[in-house]
Amino acid sequence: MHTVEIAGSGRRYACAPGQNLLRAMEVLGQRGIPAGCRGGGCGVCKVRIEAGQYHVGKMSRACLTEAEQRAGLVLACKTYPDSDIRLRPVALLQRCLERHAGRRESA
């Protein structure tokens, strides 16, 4: 098992090597990465990998350009850890985390 850290949120979860980053989070009932089609075609789960080794499956170039991928952006639904991972929210994910944090503070 590898540990996935969502940078800036204090959240961590376990992910098996053969499991994609998004599915591992969902199986554990965690929140943090927004989900759309779960098949690499919508781009909703785009994140930036800051640290760690990983490999990716086929992703739509309409959602993730080669330049974005070289810059460390990936789709969580098509990314598999080879080591512990630290990922950084992109704009949509950052808003989701901030909204969820606000709910916890008001509870």
Residue 74 has pLDDT above 80, yes or no: yes
Q: What's the mean pLDDT in 6-34?
A: 80
Residue 35 has pLDDT above 70, yes or no: no
Average pLDDT over the chain, rounded to an integer: 78
Residue 94 has pLDDT above 70, yes or no: no
- β-pairing, 85-89 vs 2-6, is parallel
d(CA 55, CA 38): 17
- The pLDDT value given to residue 61: 81
d(CA 63, CA 107): 36
- The pLDDT value given to residue 40: 63
- The pLDDT value given to residue 89: 73
Are the CB atoms for 31 and 45 separated by under 8 Å? no
Residue 80 has pLDDT above 90, yes or no: yes
- The pLDDT value given to residue 63: 79
Confidence of residue 29 (pLDDT cuts 50, 70, 90): low
Q: What's the mean pLDDT in 33-48?
A: 70
Residue 23 has pLDDT above 60, yes or no: yes
Evaluate whether the domain defined by 2-106 bears CATH number 3.90.550.10.
no
